[in-house]
Amino acid sequence: MTSASEEEFDVILLGTGLTESITAAALAKAGVKVAQIDTNPYYGAENASLSLDELIQWADEQNSTSSQERAPYYLLGRFRRGQLRTVPGSKEDIFKSTEITLLEKRRVMRFLMFAASEFEEKPEFQGKKDLPFSEFLDSAFSLSSAMSTVICFALAYCFHPSDSTPNALSRIRRYLRSHGRYGPSSFIIGQYGGAGEIAQGFCRTAAVHGGVYILGRSIRSITPIPSLDAPSDHPEQNAQAPSYDVTLNDFPEHLISRVLISSPLLAPEDLRGSAEYIPLDQSYDHAHFGLTVARCIAIIDQPIIFASAPAAADEEDTEDLEGPKARQPDPSDVASIIFPPSTLENGSDSAAATVIVMGAGTMSTPEGKWIVYIMLPVPENTRLSSEDVLQPYLSHILTLTSVPDSGDQSDHGSSHLLFKLFYLEHNDPPQSPTAPCTSSSSFFITPPSTQHPAEIFDCATSSAETTFWRTIRALQSTRVLQLNNGDDGCATLEVDSFWPPLDRDAEEEEEEEW
Amino acid sequence: MATHLLVPLHVKYIQGLGESKDDLAYHLTAHLRLNAIYWGLTALSIVDRQDALDRDEMIEFVMSCWDEDAGAFGAHPNHDAHILATLSAIQILVMQDALDRLDVPKVVKFILSLQQPSGVFAGDSFGEIDTRFSYCAVSALSLLGRLHELDIEKTTNYIIQCRNFDGGFGSCVGAESHAGQVWVCVAALAIMDRLDVVDVPTLAWWLAERQLPSGGLNGRPEKLPDVCYSHWALSSLAILKKLSWIDADKTISFILSAQDSEGGGIADRAGDMVDVFHTVFGIAGLSLLGYPDLLDLDPVYCMPAATIERMGLRKDWQALERRTTTMS
Amino acid sequence: MHGVKRQTQQAIADRKQREKSKIEGLLKLTDAVLARKKGQDFSAEAFDATTQLLTVNPEFYTIWNYRRNILTNGLFRESTPEAINELLSGELALTMKFLQAHPKVYWIWNHRQWCLQNVPPGPGSDVDGWKKKYWAFELQAVEKMLNADARNFHAWNYRRYVLANMPVPRPESSELTYTMKKIESNFSNFSAWHQRSKVYTSLWHQGKLDPIKSKEKEFELVRNAMYTDPDDQSIWMYHRWLVGLGHDKELLDREIGVIHELLEEQPDSKWCMESLVHYKRLILTNYPSNQDPELVADCVRLLDQLKDIDSARRHRYEEIRQNIESIGGRS
């Protein structure tokens, strides 16, 4: 019974991270009545896009020992290593490369074709899938160690050489199959360079379908109550899972919900025992969760300059066929740079560092400024500070802001550093499912976000899909459903798909007609 | 998926084409009407059902497309004369044995007037040039028994200039080889008895490589397969007497798979919308590959072989032997 | 119809119902425009009516013809060169719009070409001023079309037309840069390789480029492509063009060696085997020697393998085999 001080929902979600936001949007599209709550005044939780002021405020609030996680979204253009070399990530890159021998071109291509295929069925995979990825590459494809390193860290984005082979291959396959979907690159850039706008976009989708949003209110209490769908004459005999009464500070109404979904961070301690933890998809490497990661956010006012490779043949001037063209500096607006282990003096010799640079084209900086994000997994009980660990990487990046041999090198670029922030991020590992899934749960905790930069979206989407179906099942098991459509609430919930496809004409390549 | 040629359905489909005036597409293709009638009639002839369309009605329609000012045919009444429609009209009249309705000197004059100093033909007085139009001119003049009025050397020389290193031919000097252009050039050369200018081993190799693992053929390297190339590439191979260089069984099943087993007709690929263009070229391909119970197609003229033979125009081409059962 | 998915009978019936009024409109408009045409109406109203009809059906060639007649016999007559220039700019904008929706309709490309041929001299005493502007724009426009579909042969033909008729010719070698760009973004683009072969032939012919030196560069390029993707037939065809009739024994031997090495790494490569047979046959034909029986045996072995892995074309391989054995028998 809805009174003036109560509002009833099918689902309340705590947190507006990607997983929760995608779940909310999918549920709302399916006709489920949802409310989504975040204690932060902004959308996106750990994936939020913050302004510089907000970032500084956030940093000030962090206690140095228990820093909250904050994974910026990563996206990449090109990719270099050691003395900065382009990563051969496509057939065209390999064809054009002047640094790979002919024989190796064949072998790398064979590897990429393998990785793009249903490799699980292939003989190269069988019997070797339990090898660490770096060893798998050596033993199955006879690649040079330099090429194996590039594939392992710059295509598969392994953190450690020991990362699992099936997961690494899945990442490469996703990368290769993404090629050409939205242009020549496999990567897309979120507005303001991050995932915050995307999480917010899903929230907006949910709102369009009737979702209710409450931000910036802390949770006062969450109380299990007898199921809303229990037979009203004998509520005490109710064998069904409880419903929940949620109250917020500075918010007058009680929010009542059949199902409660929470991010791991916001899940109330006292209810965790009765929660069902949504399992993580196996294709995401569990080694990329629950890590301690050193992070740096810096702002510079000079772009990273890559000496562009000479064009394979530049014949504009026929008289000059033999003359090598001067290498033109190639200032990049967006770049991803990988430092495999042991490639930098004073750098890590066990893990790869990922550097993402974003300029004005990503709308995350004004013209003439670039943000540098650095991340490096570190041992859990490291005594080094995040600054100790990452300063060598930042210094090296700064040297790349000056044109080689231009005489502009004396200051090593440090005068171009405008802002830097270092922190350590500790994540909780995902919970393994507590009990065998029963249909009677009504409180779900979503899996944590991956710390792997190339998998944040995919993993969140996969977790959202699992959460979505689990929630639908829970709702279907309740006797009566109150649907959004405002009828008498006796409709059954019928759901065909997680995210119904958009109606669109499939345009195929058209052969010429004449 | 159909495993044999659905002749009655295709006949019904072609018969129905003239009655689809409630279909927007019918009206939007008025500029191809005469060509469509030629395609439909040829397809019917090859399945030995030429009687399925009314002869007199067809001849009257053809004559209603006559453009008196130009002295040739447009694709539809009140449309301008064009060499594409003119060849179709001549082909229909030949197949219906009604050439007596034609003002032959006038048409010959129209065709010859389109030859450019370079030797290529324009499609009409507006001057678009293409080796397709050269074929139209050569084929039409030959069917009218007036090939001797053509400057064969000049015509051949232009085609030679369109020859590429892969042995194929393009639509004009400099253009890329394309199976359709290969056919118009090779067939025109065959009619003019100038196949000596073709690099047969290279061209037949290029044509044989048009076949893809699906059995279908594409028109150019690294493109998708399409039923209409069964005609362009297969006819060219038949003229070069290298039709055995591809896998006939696979091509046959590719063509059969593109049939609409509900409404009749053949599409470019399985599952797509059918049209009369792909219907005739699918059936033409099947005929050349020896599919049972079909009449022979003349790959040079893309008309029933018996008609061409009767006119004494047959050239030295070779199709696969007619099979007696569906599967080899 | 090319690439259009088949509909169910019910969907067709529904569509026909929806189309009824469209058909009426189209027929009315067609009759009206054809009546104007018959009456030799070359007015601006007639011109606008053709725009309307062509927007519905850009393949209606008779209407394009009529439109050009309206321009030359009507609108151009009373117009200053400036006004003609304006009209032609409008034509180019209209055809560009049409081409974006119908990139493979001959009649639209054809009309565009006609427009270029009718650019008036000017402005003022700068006789090529407008032409230069148009041509510069056309090159960009055609590049845009080729970015959308790098194999559109209409666009390539048009590109060649534009290049060949520029008021201020561009150095032909700049086309090498363009085709390289297309090849680097996708080397399965045989249209670009084809264009390259034409440009090189022309440059060699004019003595602007040394064939030996430039071929070496091309061999290098093709080698990179064949090692990257030995299944791509366009590069093997281009390679065959580079080798030509095989009048350079040293080169033949070298390229055979390169392909042999690739075959060792990729033992199932059809194109390696096919090409080896071709080049070895060139040696057999051009340079008879006592090595012949060995070469013949090589070819026969490769052809037997080819019959297996590329069985669709087995009759061709068999024919070549017989042909080679007859050469072997002769020597």
Q: Quote the minimal CA–CA distance from B325 to chain A in Å.
A: 32
Over residues C234-240, mean pLDDT: 96
Please, what are the averages of pLDDT over each run of 10 residues along chain A (514 residues)? 70 96 96 94 88 82 48 36 70 89 94 94 89 90 88 92 93 89 77 86 95 94 85 57 91 93 92 90 85 91 70 40 40 83 89 91 88 92 87 90 56 71 84 60 91 87 95 79 46 80 48 42
For residue B51, the 8-state DSSP code is G
Please answer yes or no on whether A510 and C2 come within 8 Å at the CB atom.
yes
User: First-to-last CA distance in chain A?
Assistant: 69
Whether pLDDT at B328 is above 80: no
Chain B nearest-CA residue for A513: B228
Q: Quote the minimal CA–CA distance from C280 to chain A in Å.
A: 23
CB pairs under 8 A between B and C: 145
Chain A nearest-CA residue for C149: A509
Residue C305 corresponds to which tokens in the numbers above?
A: 């393998």
**Residue C237 pLDDT level (bands cut at 50, 70, 90):** very high
Helices within C102-244 (DSSP H only)? 106-117, 129-148, 153-164, 174-185, 190-205, 211-228, 233-243
CA angle in degrees (0–180, nearest 5) for A210-A497-A480: 60
Structural fold of domain A51-77+292-426: Guanine Nucleotide Dissociation Inhibitor; domain 2 (3.30.519)
| For testing contact with chain C, the best of A90, A95, A101, A513 (most C CBs within 10 A) | A95
Q: Is A408 helix (H, G, I), strand (E, B) or coil?
A: coil
What DSSP string describes B71-112?
TEE-SSTTSPP-HHHHHHHHHHHHHTT-GGGS-HHHHHHHHH
Query: How are beta strands A79-80 and A370-378 bridged, if at all?
Result: unpaired
Q: CB atoms < 10 A from the CB of A262, how many?
A: 23
A6-49+195-284+430-477: CATH number: 3.50.50.60
Domains identified in chain B, total number = 1
**Residue C2 pLDDT level (bands cut at 50, 70, 90):** low
The ipTM estimated for the assembled molecules is: 0.86
Which of B80, B166, B275 is the closest to C237 by Cβ?
Answer: B166
Instruction: Please check whether residue B326 lies inside any domain of the structure.
Output: no
Q: In chain C, which residues touch A (CB < 8 A)?
A: 2-3, 5, 104, 106, 152-154, 171, 173-174, 176-177, 180, 184-187, 203, 208-209, 213-214, 217, 221, 223-225, 227-230, 261-262, 265-266
Residue A489 CB contacts under 8 Å (≥ 6 apart), including other chains: A480, A481, A482, A483
The pLDDT assigned to A90 comes to 86
Top pLDDT among B20 and C265 is at: C265
Q: Is A218 helix (H, G, I), strand (E, B) or coil?
A: coil
Q: Is C273 helix (H, G, I), strand (E, B) or coil?
A: helix
pLDDT, tens digit, 9 for 90 and up, residues B43-54: 999 999 999 999
The pLDDT assigned to C211 comes to 93
From chain C, the residues in CB contact with A313 under 8 A are 176, 180, 217, 221
Residue B326 CB contacts under 8 Å (≥ 6 apart), including other chains: B3, B4, B291, B292
Q: Quote the minimal CA–CA distance from C209 to chain A in Å.
A: 7
From chain A, the residues in CB contact with C266 under 8 A are 106, 110
pLDDT, tens digit, 9 for 90 and up, residues B253-273: 999 999 999 999 999 999 899
Chain A nearest-CA residue for B232: A514
Whether pLDDT at C219 is above 80: yes
Place of tokens 């990530």: A89
Please answer yes or no on whether A510 and C173 come within 8 Å at the CB atom.
no
Q: Quote the minimal CA–CA distance from A324 to chain C in Å.
A: 13
Provide the phi-psi class of B312: left if phi over 0, else alpha when psi is between -120 and 50, else beta.
left
The pLDDT assigned to A383 comes to 84
Q: Quote the minimal CA–CA distance from A149 to chain B in Å.
A: 33
Chain B nearest-CA residue for A510: B224
Residue C199 corresponds to which tokens in the numbers above?
A: 């440009």
Cα A175 to chain center, whole Å? 14
Does the beta carbon of A99 lie under 8 angstroms from any beta carbon of chain C? Answer: no
pLDDT, tens digit, 9 for 90 and up, residues C260-284: 999 999 999 999 999 999 999 999 9
Which of C152, C180, C230 is the closest to A313 by Cβ?
Answer: C180
Of A24-33, A87-96, B73-82, C127-136, minimum mean pLDDT range: A87-96
From chain A, the residues in CB contact with B224 under 8 A are 509, 511
From chain B, the residues in CB contact with C188 under 8 A are 221-222
Whether pLDDT at C285 is above 50: yes
Chain C nearest-CA residue for B21: C23
The pLDDT assigned to A9 comes to 94
Chain C nearest-CA residue for B210: C233
CA angle in degrees (0–180, nearest 5) for C199-C201-C202: 65
CA distance B60 to B228: 29
Please report the residues numbered 472 through 511 in chain A whose beta carbons come closer than 8 angstroms to any beta carbon of chain B.
509, 511
Chain A nearest-CA residue for C188: A92
Please answer yes or no on whether B132 and A514 come within 8 Å at the CB atom.
yes
Q: What is the mean pLDDT of chain C?
A: 93
Over residues C83-100, mean pLDDT: 95
Please answer yes or no on whether A511 and B219 come within 8 Å at the CB atom.
yes
CA angle in degrees (0–180, nearest 5) for A295-A298-A302: 145
Which of A92, A96, A316 is the closest to C174 by Cβ?
Answer: A316
CATH number at residue B148: 1.50.10.20
Of A493-502, C79-88, C300-309, minimum mean pLDDT range: A493-502
pLDDT, tens digit, 9 for 90 and up, residues B109-134: 999 999 999 999 999 999 899 999 99
Please answer yes or no on whether C265 and A106 come within 8 Å at the CB atom.
yes
Domain interval for residue B26: 7-310
The pLDDT assigned to A115 comes to 95
CA dihedral B64, B70, B72, B76 (to 10 degrees): -40
Residue spans of the domains in chain A: they are: 6-49+195-284+430-477, 51-77+292-426, 87-186
Residue A172 near residue A199, CB atoms below 8 Å: no
Q: What is the mean pLDDT of chain B?
A: 95
Residue A231 corresponds to which tokens in the numbers above?
A: 């037979």
Please answer yes or no on whether C62 and B222 come within 8 Å at the CB atom.
no
Does the beta carbon of A236 lie under 8 angstroms from any beta carbon of chain B? Answer: no
Q: Quote the minimal CA–CA distance from C186 to chain A in Å.
A: 6
Q: Which of A377, A323, A503, A284 is nearest to A71 (CA)?
A: A377
Please answer yes or no on whether C3 and B165 come within 8 Å at the CB atom.
no
Whether pLDDT at C239 is above 50: yes
Asked if the A87-186 domain carries CATH number 1.10.405.10, the reply is: yes
